[in-house]
Amino acid sequence: MVTVTDRATQELRNMLAEASPEEGQTLRLVARAEGGFAVGLDQVRGDDKVVEAGGERVLVIASGLAETLEGAVIDVQETETGPKLTIS
């Protein structure tokens, strides 16, 4: 299971609100080909792992990536350019 900290949950809520999603869209965590991860808007798919916090969906992850991230914690790190999601 992927754990999302309270700070990361709030940051994901902020990101979703700023993105102005269409009906049925939510934030999706994806692995980038060049390494690292990215978050963007997408529809929920049948095999997705839905990450909930406080009873609401805050993020979806494709099942294969969710298996890779089993036991990971998503948090927020403050940087000079603003908050940044981290995975450890």
Nearest to 29 by CA among 5, 50, 46, 13: 50
- Mean pLDDT, residues 29-56: 91
Question: What confidence score (pLDDT) does residue 18 get?
Answer: 92
Domain ranges (residues) in the chain: 3-87
pTM of the model: 0.88
Report strand pairing: 56-61 vs 3-4: unpaired
- Mean pLDDT, residues 1-13: 92
Question: What confidence score (pLDDT) does residue 1 get?
Answer: 83
CA 38/CA 29 separation, integer angstroms: 6
Query: How high is the mean pLDDT of the chain?
Result: 93
Question: What confidence score (pLDDT) does residue 81 get?
Answer: 95
Spell out the alpha helix ranges (H) of the chain.
Answer: 6-19, 63-68
Question: What confidence score (pLDDT) does residue 13 get?
Answer: 92
- Contact between 86 and 18 under an 8 Å Cβ cutoff? The reply is no
CATH number of 3-87: 2.60.300.12
Report strand pairing: 56-61 vs 49-53: antiparallel
